[in-house]
Amino acid sequence: MSINLLDMLKDQVTGSLAQGAAGFLGESESGITKALGEGIFPSLLGSMLNKGGTEEGATGLLNALKDHDGGVLDNIGGLFGGGSDAVAGLMNGGSGILSMLLGNQVGNIVDMVAKLAGLKGSTASSLLKMAAPMLMGMVGKHVRKNGLGVSGLMDLLSGQKEHVKAAAPSGWNPLDMLSGAVGSVTGAAGAVVGGAGDVVGAAADKVGDAARGTVDAGKKVVSGAADLAGKGVNAAGDVAGGAVKTGGSILRWLLPIFLLLMGLAWFFGFKTGCNAVDSTVDKANDLTETVVEGAGDVVGDVASGAMDMAKGAFGAVNEAAKAALDGVEWAAGSVGSQMMDFIDNGFEGDGRFTFNNLTFDSGSAAISGETGLEVDNLAKILMAYPDAKLNIEGYTDNTGDAAANVELSKARAEAVKARLAVAGIDGARITTVGYGADNPVADNATPEGRAKNRRIEVTLAK
């Protein structure tokens, strides 16, 4: 019979964590205990089961577990007695783990745990971040103690399925929930890509048809001009040939006529051809002008729509929260400073803002030290403007594996969303996406360029 990791968590972690977290977060210990035992730990372990269900996934998970020695389990009570910095460090590490295990489902899990245990969304988010390192530490400790490799880890996790199902509330199966969510996201992404492909294909067909029509018209013009000129030359040649046969005396009179006919044939043929070509060029120019004007109209519509969206997002203002922004010191060039300038200047611009002071630990989604304050300041703006919604986009440089870069950029965007959730921002207002090395803003050939390409951008969403 396999060991029950959830029972081990209950014995070693849940009690001490619930007691410390309740005091730290200002919630009831019973609510925290319910959230951990019935929602958070089954969900986290269920996501670990899904991730470790393949040899490739288990290999990545095993490497991640090696970084967690289980030391965090030794003095949970002392961790909360050490002040906010110690807890913030725990939660910062938990953000990266959540991104790895839950991906873009963090917000959904937060909402479900909050409803299950009657907690605030910010409390549920904080608990997830606290619990994730605990789970990783305990499983990592067990893996090292028993010398488990990839196959051993897969066996250990596969034996947890029934325990996870039994621990979760009725009607809530973390295994089905997480795998279904991944499937729906993948399907939606496929539909979007497919739809975009259809649009691009149709546009390409129209452009191709227009180009072929223009080329064909040009060919006909040139061919017609050449035929006309050729007929004139042939006619003149026939006359000249007849003149040669008649005799030299007649040739003297016909030679000027021959030259005149040659000139006329060339002139009229060339002019007709040029006129036709000019007509074709004029039509092409007209078509180009129409396309450019249409593109300009589209750009204008998009810009107008962006401004309307911004006005809607920042129109409903919580005056008390807005007043609190007066005392905030925005770091020069920070995303908060950019967004405040956008608001104060009447929403001029494209509604895109870049974090300039936010950094992550190398190769991870853990926000580095005090750089997370830039995210906290963004949260203050979102509190002041409750109708504003954001897209958070993650980017990397082009070094390393492309697929891994996409995952890392996505995890970092999720880490920003998770920190906003801790500050009280509803996860439903935030969407995240990772683009990896796509859309560079600088040259990846230089260290400075690569540093600029490793970034998080924020755009307004409808």
Among 11-15, 90-94, 320-324, 335-339, which stretch is predicted with the lowest mean pLDDT?
A: 320-324
Confidence of residue 449 (pLDDT cuts 50, 70, 90): very high
| Residue 155, pLDDT above cutoff 90 | yes
Question: In this predicted model, which residue has the larger pLDDT, 456 or 191?
Answer: 456
The span from the CA of 133 to the CA of 26, in Å, is 21
Amino acid in position 254: L
Q: Which of 62-71, 250-259, 340-349, 451-460 has the highest mean pLDDT?
A: 451-460
Q: Which of 231-240, 244-253, 282-291, 343-352 has the highest mean pLDDT?
A: 343-352
Q: Note whether 354 and 394 are within 8 A (CB).
A: no
Cβ-proximal residues to 156 (8 Å cutoff; 6+ apart), any chain:
2, 3, 5, 139, 142, 143, 148
Question: In this predicted model, which residue has the larger pLDDT, 241 or 357?
Answer: 357
| Residue 442, pLDDT above cutoff 90 | yes
Q: What is the DSSP string of 158-195?
A: HTTHHHHHHHSPTT--HHHHHHHHHHHHHHHHHHHHHH
The span from the CA of 175 to the CA of 163, in Å, is 11
The span from the CA of 230 to the CA of 224, in Å, is 10
- pLDDT at residue 231 in the model: 45
| Residue 75, pLDDT above cutoff 60 | yes
- pLDDT at residue 239 in the model: 38
Q: Note whether 359 and 371 are within 8 A (CB).
A: yes
- pLDDT at residue 347 in the model: 81
- pLDDT at residue 310 in the model: 62
The span from the CA of 224 to the CA of 180, in Å, is 65
Give me the residue label for tokens 């007691």: 19
pTM of this structure:
0.45
What are the φ/ψ torsions at residue 128 (nearest 5 degrees)? -55, -45
Mean pLDDT of 337-347: 86
Neighbours of 400 (CB within 10 A): 13
Domains of the chain with CATH codes: 5-172 (no CATH), 189-298 (no CATH), 319-461 (3.30.1330.60)
pLDDT tens digit string along 369-399? Answer: 888 899 999 998 988 888 889 999 999 999 9
Confidence of residue 317 (pLDDT cuts 50, 70, 90): low
Mean pLDDT of 32-40: 92
Q: Note whether 32 and 25 are within 8 A (CB).
A: yes
The span from the CA of 92 to the CA of 273, in Å, is 74
Q: What is the mean pLDDT of the chain?
A: 75
The span from the CA of 352 to the CA of 334, in Å, is 12
